[in-house]
A = this chain, B = another copy of it.
């Protein structure tokens, strides 16, 4: 063996060795890697400014804050950074909430404390008796913890920490994950293994994952979690399970995270022994009051209930001739004495309603505006159908000014390739949040509805349907961690730019090397449009296969409920394709404020990305780029495939910047994504071609498979179904 070859073999062996030793670490540690900083200039700056931590208080939350700071700094600076409890020395970080600060420090910060709420924080460089300190404080210890994570992020992302003056607070009150986790640990629409909650071993066994879950959430400002599926099981409300919920609540509490549960509306019958669950029945209302009292006795800071009622077969007030207001307010009365909240979902549609499904939630809920109790917040999905790769914003946003509405985003990729496809969702979330409802004139964005700045509300919130499971890397796809991260960051500040989020996440998770960052950030930002292109371009939606929602199924038309069939949505025929929701069709556009609705309503002004959502247009319709609709559609599908190929090219060049483990994982997953992008393109184009009767335009690859082949594919044990 010559020298060069031997060198290669040794290198090869070393890489494999490295991979053996790091597994289950990098993947597990999310964006809290705290790797040693490689750029010496930064190490010098940070080390000069930080030689210790002064922790002024001793609450559980404060201890977590100082420990995290110690862990993070020790890891990143490569020197043990110690914690003391008295102000002395200099170049130290002082942490503690307002009441723990001495008068001198309090006075310097009074104006800043005015600017923040109970969860906000201040990070400030200060000189005390001519000695330099960095002060991290807040009104409460949880603010300090948020400040600590923000400070650590500065270092993780190689920012300067000179002359710090950061005053920040969350713009929404409820920043919450919705776990669609069942009691048998399956997760509805879960693609990262199974539920974290090991009910059998609770309450006595506290899995370290519960702690690390809380840590990860606190690090991005998430302050609530709904443990159970909206398709609820009443057993969670029995003492046997409440004891377990209590144990989880105790773990999460010092991290500032409140526990919420889903309330099955028929629970009074199923576990209460009552004959009815009628919200106007006094025995029912009392049952809930007693149940709530029992819960708060165990969990004094219990958050409240999330309710899916009279939707997709779930029980609800309509079973008793009552309405959503009756149901929500009855539960609201029960939790009100304890400060609890009812999050009532507006995701409703009925098989008995011949109306356009996209119109039904608005039609049903908008008239309730102002009728809910103070502690009810209505939870609205970002679009009027169901978490598609792209939907126009939900018309309810801005249309219920007297009612707090919270956003429901889906972080788990039910319709976006499960955990196999790389899609950076903050880009999708940002598009929704930036959408202008025009409800109070131009600039009435969805973000302003959500954070209460358009119409002030005591309650504000953003929910994300969790993509977390018991996979070692939490989310199935290494890049799906970015969607959890980005959700939390946007829940804190719905005005953040998704590119900034991608930059932060990549630096914290992988590397600060610009040669890595620049192309990979571009890949992330473009990934969402890629998925739209190869799945549902130009406003197509809900054309996935049945049940599991994996892969294309535009041909499906045999399901019992008409609005479950893809053919209901794309309405392809000889004349064209698309769902006419303009005034010549279902007039769904009229549910928007006129300035928004008119744009959608007119095929000329309707953004092409939403074209087939709002209009049925002919195959020969001319797109803005001069292509016919058929050609343009086919080219969009091809573009999506090309984009995934480009993602692969980008990723293949990153090997030298990151660990081989995650490099290979993403490489394998991108290969699957590429295969499946072609599958979407080929299956959809073969199917639609039957109606258009046209050849594929130049530049679009032809498949060797038949439509029959694609229609024959079955996925009997697809996860999350």
Please, what's the 1-or-0 string for A7-37, where 1 marks a CB less than 8 Å from any CB in chain B?
0011001001101110111001000000000
Contact across chains for A200 and B669 when beta carbons are under 8 A apart: no
Contact across chains for B83 and A204 when beta carbons are under 8 A apart: no
Q: Which of A64-72, A164-172, A523-531 contacts B (4 or more CB under 8 A)?
A: A64-72
Contact across chains for A199 and B471 when beta carbons are under 8 A apart: no
Please, what's the 1-or-0 string for A204-224, where 1 marks a CB less than 8 Å from any CB in chain B?
111011001000000000000
Contact of A199 among B17, B71, B82, B717 (CB under 8 A): B717
A297 CB–B CB distance under 8 Å: no
Chain B residue numbers with a CB within 8 Å of A16 are: 67
CA distance A71 to B22 in the complex (A): 12
Contact across chains for A183 and B717 when beta carbons are under 8 A apart: yes
A718 CB–B CB distance under 8 Å: yes
Contact across chains for B13 and A66 when beta carbons are under 8 A apart: yes
Contact of A205 among B204, B212, B420, B716 (CB under 8 A): B420
A121 CB, min distance to chain B CBs, angstroms: 22
Contact of A24 among B13, B25, B669 (CB under 8 A): B25
CA distance A70 to B9 in the complex (A): 13
- Chain A positions within 8 Å of B, measured between CB atoms, are 1, 6, 9-10, 13, 16-17, 19-21, 23-25, 28, 63, 66-67, 70-71, 74-75, 82-86, 183-185, 191, 193-194, 199-201, 204-206, 208-209, 212, 235, 240, 418, 420, 470-472, 661, 665, 668-669, 671-672, 675, 714-719
Q: A16-B67, A17-B74, A24-B25 are in contact. Are A204 and B671 (CB under 8 A)?
A: yes
Contact across chains for B6 and A85 when beta carbons are under 8 A apart: yes
Contact of A20 among B71, B82, B240, B672 (CB under 8 A): B71
Q: A70-B13, A205-B668 are in contact. Are A185 and B719 (CB under 8 A)?
A: yes
Closest to A204 in B: B672
CA distance A418 to B66 in the complex (A): 38
Chain B residue numbers with a CB within 8 Å of A471 are: 470
CA distance A148 to B73 in the complex (A): 40
Chain B residue numbers with a CB within 8 Å of A199 are: 717
Closest to A18 in B: B71
Contact across chains for A67 and B205 when beta carbons are under 8 A apart: no
Contact across chains for A208 and B420 when beta carbons are under 8 A apart: no
Chain B residue numbers with a CB within 8 Å of A86 are: 1
Contact across chains for A20 and B67 when beta carbons are under 8 A apart: yes
Contact across chains for A67 and B717 when beta carbons are under 8 A apart: no
CA distance A472 to B193 in the complex (A): 12
Q: A10-B82, A13-B83, A24-B25 are in contact. Are A716 and B235 (CB under 8 A)?
A: yes
Chain B residue numbers with a CB within 8 Å of A183 are: 716-717
Closest to A193 in B: B470
